[in-house]
Chain A
Amino acid sequence: METPVETITTRAQRVVASKRLTKKFWARARVITSVTALALIALTAALKVELGTFSSLALGPIQFACPLGVAQVIAASQQFIPAFALAGLIGLLSIILLGRVFCGWLCPGRWMFNRGPWQEKMPFKHRGWIQGALAGGVVGLAAVCHTPVFCIVCPAGIVCRGAIAAGAGGSLLPTLGWLGGIISFEWLSRRSWCRDLCPLGGAISLVSRLNPFLKFKANPEKCRPCKACENVCPEGMNIGRAVDTSVCMKCFACQAVCPRDAVEFQPVAFKITTAKSSH
């Protein structure tokens, strides 16, 4: 006896299948962007062109630097380095312009971690406070240890170091070791690194409160309370109910899965101010 081949016939099934494809498309696009950026870093290391890494990036005369790195270095060395501080400010500015795009689209931690079945589904309640404390804590730790401690273990940093080692002919073992350490930390604490633990993500979400661009918003006319977006959002956010979307890392997952196409992408969302004044 042959089992009947399952075919997609009804309209609902077709919609579900296409949604799944869109979700996959965005997920792949994110991983590919991040891997391309790392490959570019390795390539510049092999060709000896100045580009930099996620910690410090030089695009021609403009220098970007990771704001958390700048804060740690200044706290650790107790010296104010004007050029570096300016680079950090430009980094902050890019966060205000782009929000947590770095987390979603560039940081390799996004697709390397957060994938165990052991993780709790939901973030902590006062996560804003917790993340702020984490970001402040690593700066304090840097000052205490006189070393930018988080820069040593930062997943973005260690993977960039791996990329440089791959390009310039060094050893990949330290990178693998640190990554293993972070994954075990994640496993022991049963938390998702990017959502609950990463001090860098915490610092970026604090700043991205000010970000008025690239926002996702539920259209109240189409949205009916359901949990489709909450289930896919890596941050556990329900876009229909969310009041504070600063942790959004622009991954397009909610838009891809919404069964009513209620999630709207607003490249420029200056409505924030009106919302505040009406509030």
Chain B
Amino acid sequence: MSAKSIALTRRDFLKLTGGFAAFGFAIFAFRPQPTFPSILPPGAILPADLFRAQCQRCGKCVAICPHHALAQDATGTPYIDGLSGWCDLCLDCVRVCPTGALRAVDPKQFKLGLAEIDRDQCLAWRGNGCRLCYEKCEMLQKAIELDADVRVYVKSETCNGCGACVNVCPQADRVTKHKSTGRAVALKVLDNGNTG
């Protein structure tokens, strides 16, 4: 090393240590808490806090996802919201995940979350006769039902939270309680874990 380097004064030391501590703490304290808990990729069967500890934020799962269903939030944690694409449980993300944060699951059984319809926003519930999500879901899980008035219901036993209904929903009002989507249907985290 060169003979000429400057001495680390106590002030510098305090400044550096303080700066780093503040930086680290700020990240920890202000890490984005989604207004609603976000859906983690399939295979995130670990408890949510353990998933956050084990995920390296490498983004391999996002890069490989063939349906563009996954995205990384501001801290790099992958999530699914159904806006850019929906998950068909191909489990490519599980295959590429290097850390074991995502683990093999049975795609027939696994539930990512649950679709929840906002009846004030939904066009079918407002009587406009929209049934795009029903038609989409008929091809996939058959988890959306129509009643006599062509209003849509989600069957919570069959819905696996793939997000296809969010993806096709034409409603784009910003005024909705599911702020992150603006659609009349949003994915809800299941009670038994898998929360973000």
A is bound by B = yes
Instruction: Give the interface of A toward B (CB within 8 A).
Output: 41, 44-45, 48, 50-53, 55-56, 58, 63, 65-66, 69-70, 72-73, 76-79, 81, 83-84, 87, 120, 122-128, 130, 134, 137-138, 141, 145-153, 157-158, 160-161, 164-165, 167-171, 173-174, 177-178, 185, 188-189, 191, 197, 230, 236-238, 241-244, 247
Instruction: Give the interface of B toward A (CB within 8 A).
Output: 1-8, 12, 15-16, 19-20, 23-24, 27-28, 31, 49-50, 52-60, 62-66, 68, 71-76, 84, 96, 98-100
In the complex, A109 Cα to B163 Cα: how many Å?
37
In the complex, A189 Cα to B55 Cα: how many Å?
30
| A123 contacts across to B, CB distance below 8 A | 5-6
Among the listed A130, A160, A177, A241, which residue makes an inter-chain contact with B3, where contact means beta carbons less than 8 Å apart?
A241
In the complex, A76 Cα to B72 Cα: how many Å?
20
| B132 smallest CB distance to A (angstroms) | 22
Knowing A170-B72, A189-B19, say if A52 contacts B3 (CB, 8 Å). Answer: no
Q: Are A185 and B4 in contact (CB under 8 A)?
A: no
In the complex, A177 Cα to B27 Cα: how many Å?
12
Among the listed B28, B50, B63, which residue makes an inter-chain contact with A44, where contact means beta carbons less than 8 Å apart?
B63
| B120 smallest CB distance to A (angstroms) | 28
| B172 smallest CB distance to A (angstroms) | 17
Nearest-CB residue, chain A, relative to B85: A169
In the complex, A141 Cα to B68 Cα: how many Å?
33
| Interface hub of A130, A158, A164 (most chain B Cβ within 10 A) | A164
Nearest-CB residue, chain A, relative to B57: A151
Among the listed A45, A79, A83, A145, which residue makes an inter-chain contact with B62, where contact means beta carbons less than 8 Å apart?
A45
Q: Are A152 and B31 in contact (CB under 8 A)?
A: yes
Q: Are B76 and A125 in contact (CB under 8 A)?
A: no
Q: Are A55 and B53 in contact (CB under 8 A)?
A: no
Among the listed B7, B31, B50, which residue makes an inter-chain contact with A125, where contact means beta carbons less than 8 Å apart?
B7
| B57 contacts across to A, CB distance below 8 A | 55, 148, 151-152, 157, 161
In the complex, A145 Cα to B24 Cα: how many Å?
9
Q: Are A130 and B8 in contact (CB under 8 A)?
A: yes
Q: Are B19 and A188 in contact (CB under 8 A)?
A: yes
| B103 smallest CB distance to A (angstroms) | 11
Among the listed B5, B12, B19, B73, which residue makes an inter-chain contact with A174, where contact means beta carbons less than 8 Å apart?
B73
Q: Are A168 and B68 in contact (CB under 8 A)?
A: yes
Q: Are B58 and A53 in contact (CB under 8 A)?
A: yes
| B54 smallest CB distance to A (angstroms) | 4
| B100 smallest CB distance to A (angstroms) | 5
| A45 contacts across to B, CB distance below 8 A | 59, 62-63
Q: Are A77 and B63 in contact (CB under 8 A)?
A: no
8 additional A-B residue pairs with CB within 8 Å, beyond A169-B68, A241-B2: A48-B65, A83-B98, A124-B7, A149-B28, A151-B56, A164-B63, A189-B15, A247-B1
